[in-house]
A = this chain, B = another copy of it.
Amino acid sequence: MAERFEIVEKALLKLLEDKKYATLRDILVTMNPMDVAGLFDGLDEKQIPLMFRLLPKEQAAETFVEMEPDAKEILIRGFSDNELKEVLDELYVDDAADIVEEMPANVVQRILKHADPEMRSSINQILRYPEDSAGSMMTTEYVSLRPHMTVEEAILRIRRQGVDKETIYTCYVMEKDRTLIGLVTVKDLLLAEDDNTKIEDIMETNVISVTTQTDQEEVAAMLSKYNFIALPVVDGENRMVGIVTFDDAMDVMQDAATEDMEIMAAMTPSEKTYLKSTPFDLFKHRIPWLMLLMVSATFTGMIITSFEDALSLLPVLTAFIPMLMDTGGNCGSQSSVTVIRALSLDELHFSDLLRVMWKEVRTAVLCGAALACVCFLKILLVDRLLMGNDSISLLVNGVVCLTLCVTVIMAKFVGCSLPMLAKRLGFDPAVMASPFITTIVDALSLLVYFLFAKTLLGV
Interface membership of chain A positions 403-446, coded 1 if the CB is closer than 8 angstroms to chain B and 0 otherwise: 01000000000000000000000000000001100110010001
Let me know if B258 and A261 touch, CB within 8 A: no
Overall SS of chain A's interface: helix
Let me know if B374 and A333 touch, CB within 8 A: no
- Which residue from chain B places its CB closest to the CB of A445 in the assembled complex? B322
- Which residue from chain B places its CB closest to the CB of A265 in the assembled complex? B337
A416 CB to nearest B CB, Å: 10
Let me know if B247 and A250 touch, CB within 8 A: no
Let me know if B279 and A322 touch, CB within 8 A: no
A176 at the interface (CB under 8 A from B): no
Let me know if A367 and B290 touch, CB within 8 A: yes
Residue among A163, A218, A315 with the highest chain B CB neighbour number at 10 A: A315
B residues in contact with A339, CB < 8 Å = 274
A74 at the interface (CB under 8 A from B): no
A348 at the interface (CB under 8 A from B): yes
Interface membership of chain A positions 299-329, coded 1 if the CB is closer than 8 angstroms to chain B and 0 otherwise: 0111011001001100110111111011101
Q: Which of B186, B342, B438 contacts A274 (CB 8 A)?
A: B342
Q: Could you say which of A15-23, A49-57, A355-363 contacts chain B?
A: A355-363
B residues in contact with A254, CB < 8 Å = 224, 253, 257, 345
Contacts A226-B32, A375-B294 given: A349-B3 contact, CB under 8 Å? yes
B residues in contact with A351, CB < 8 Å = 3, 6
A198 at the interface (CB under 8 A from B): no
A297 CB to nearest B CB, Å: 4
A241 at the interface (CB under 8 A from B): no
Q: Could you say which of A76-84, A99-107, A114-122, A154-162 contacts chain B?
A: A154-162
Let me know if B290 and A352 touch, CB within 8 A: no
A85 at the interface (CB under 8 A from B): no
> Contact size class for A?
35 or more
Contacts A186-B190, A191-B162, A367-B287 given: A325-B327 contact, CB under 8 Å? no
A286 at the interface (CB under 8 A from B): yes
Interface membership of chain A positions 87-118, coded 1 if the CB is closer than 8 angstroms to chain B and 0 otherwise: 00000000000000000000000000000000
A11 at the interface (CB under 8 A from B): no
Let me know if A283 and B226 touch, CB within 8 A: no
How many angstroms from the CA of A116 to the CA of B146 in the assembled complex? Answer: 41
A342 CB to nearest B CB, Å: 4
A368 CB to nearest B CB, Å: 10
Chain A residues with CB under 8 Å of chain B are 1-3, 6, 30-32, 34, 155, 158-159, 162-163, 168-169, 186-187, 190-191, 205-206, 208, 218, 223-227, 229, 246-247, 249-251, 253-254, 257-258, 260-262, 264-267, 273-275, 277, 279-280, 282-283, 286-287, 289-291, 293-295, 297-298, 300-302, 304-305, 308, 311-312, 315-316, 318-323, 325-327, 329-331, 333-334, 336-339, 341-342, 345-349, 351-352, 355-356, 359-360, 362-363, 366-367, 370-371, 374-375, 378, 382-383, 387, 389, 404, 434-435, 438-439, 442, 446
Q: List 8 A-B contacts (CB under 8 A).
A: A186-B186, A229-B246, A286-B334, A301-B319, A311-B315, A318-B318, A322-B442, A322-B446
